[in-house]
Amino acid sequence: MAQLPILHRDDDLVVVHKPSGLSVHRGWDRDRDVALQRIRNQIGRRVFPVHRLDRATSGVLLFALHPQAARQLQESFAEQRVVKRYLLLVRGIPPESGVIDHPVPKSLGGERVPAVTEFRRLDTFERYALLEAKPRSGRLHQIRRHFKHLSHPLIGDVRYGKGDQNRLFRQRFDLHRLALHAWRLEVPHPTTGEAMEFVAEVPADLAVPWRLMGLSWGCPPTGPQLPSQLRTEPAAPTAMAKDRRTPPPGRPGRGD
């Protein structure tokens, strides 16, 4: 069982870099290998989850080290004092920035609840765009659902995306995962209240394909070695007009 890279640890919390394909805790899939158990074994003490990442999403994941810290961190999330920034690759070219205000189911098959996501466009590659998204709320699959709603599904998304696009990126760029990475997390420390920011660089299973596309946001300064079969020059980005079929982003709104 591979150890998780630790981004930060003190007496109250531990922050790790979760890989794609690993669940945070045992849920619907009843996985035996989960991030919570890995870090518990790794540091030799109990940890308390305070937020979650989808199994297919990589990036910054925070655990409290005692119940009081867990309660304080959960309050910070509930009171919108935490800023989460994600990097994602989508089909099509969305507007340069926008706010998606669109309710999503609270759980699979559950009632719809308010959900708001801010986004900005960072770069483009052919008919695809690299975005930064800041969800104001933490609904199930919120980012993935919101960009499907805009007709800009995430690449590699087997639930809300397009199978032909996912196959294209597997064949062309060896991308075998969801193109969604929890890049930065800004949170007040549960004891001192100090503003803290944690950053997880884009892992190799995303960084290698993205560099082939000429994209580098969030990637390590020195890129990982490319597989020999993929050592080709990336295609030059093509200037694109905005897709007229794209619905405008939702109206600005309040909410987590």
**pTM reported for the whole predicted model:** 0.84
pLDDT of residue 27: 66
DSSP count for the chain of H helices, then E strands: 5, 12
pLDDT at position 222, please?
A: 57
Task: Provide the pLDDT for residue 256.
Answer: 33
pLDDT of amino acid 250? 37
6-230: CATH topology is Pseudouridine synthase (3.30.2350)
SS (H, E, C) 25-63: CCCCCCCCCEHHHHHHHHHCCCCEECCCCCCCCEEEEEE
SS3 of 183, please? Answer: strand
H or E element: which one contains 76? helix 67-78
- As a 3-state breakdown, the chain gives helix, strand, coil percent values, each rounded to 5, of 20, 30, 50
pLDDT in the model for residue 232 = 33
User: For the chain, which residues score pLDDT lower than 70?
Assistant: 27-30, 222-256
| Catalytic annotation present for 54 | yes
Catalytic residue from among 11, 12, 31, 54: 54
